[in-house]
Amino acid sequence: MSNTEKPKISTAPQVIKEEVIAAGKWVMLEKTTYVDPAGNTRIWETSKRTTRRANTEADGVGIIALLKRTLHKDCVVMVKQFRPPLGCYTLEFPAGLIDEGENAEVAAVRELKEETGYKGEVVSVTPVTCLDPGLSNCTTQIVLVNINGDEMENINPTQQLEFVEVILLPLDEFQLKIDEVLKKEKISVDAKVYLFGMGMVQAFFKPRELPVLKQ
Ligand SMILES: Nc1nc(=O)[nH]c2c1ncn2[C@H]1C[C@H](O)[C@@H](COP(=O)(O)OP(=O)(O)O)O1
């Protein structure tokens, strides 16, 4: 089919059956029967978390935590940890699953404290966003948090998680510093993190270029 030809849409696509094929403690695999936009009944293999709470749309939270200290550059608080599904270390925003009775704001403040030791204040929360929609129904809300680094409890923060390393990256050189980490060691960077860096470069540096230099 050429790029200009579009498939004829004859029906609203919808899921008609979800059957569990295998289930573990944390993750399950389902066979999803659905009707595609052309009206054909098809099968999709779907993974889901078993932990999603009733009345909660998001599985977890990701936290963009900005550490603000007098006489220091603003830094983004990142975590480095070994991730078994990848078999290597990853560089991620602090993140975690939403517990029973929590909303995204409460989960974000708790997870940030557990993983990094910092006490943050929520600035904003995104709508529920999907993470890997061709594979899973897994969703997250990204919570923007400010940390007053001059406060006593944020001067020497104590983490509760032994195997999580906290890394501070200056906001104004975020993508550059990530590229340096990638050159130095075998580590996988979360796509959300890299996109955040690319977005900042696009937003802050491109508009300053002269129009004649634009490609
Ligand atoms: N897919 C998973 N497999 C596991 O064997 N265990 C898992 C999975 N997902 C979460 N967990 C466990 C690990 C932690 O003990 C708890 C809470 O995880 P949380 O800290 O909320 O989230 P991550 O930072 O993404 O691990 O769940």
Instruction: State ipTM.
Output: 0.92
Tens of pLDDT, residue by residue over 21-77, are 999 999 999 999 999 999 999 999 999 999 988 877 899 999 999 999 999 999 999
pLDDT per residue as tens digits for the range 115-143: 999 999 999 999 999 999 999 999 999 99
Hey, what domains does the chain have and what are their CATH numbers? 14-49 (no CATH), 60-207 (3.90.79.10)
Nearest CA to ligand 1 atom 22: 96
Torsion sign over Cα 58, 133, 41, 23 = negative
pTM of the model: 0.91
Element (H, E) at 192: helix 191-204
Q: Whose CA is nearest to atom 3 of ligand 1?
A: 26
Rounded to the nearest 10°, the torsion over CA 138, 144, 149, 154 is -40
Strands, E, within the chain: which ranges? 14-23, 27-35, 41-49, 60-68, 75-83, 88-92, 95-97, 121-125, 129-130, 139-148, 165-170, 187-189
For residue 83, report the distance from its CA to the centre of ligand 1, in Å: 10
Residue 105 has pLDDT above 80, yes or no: yes
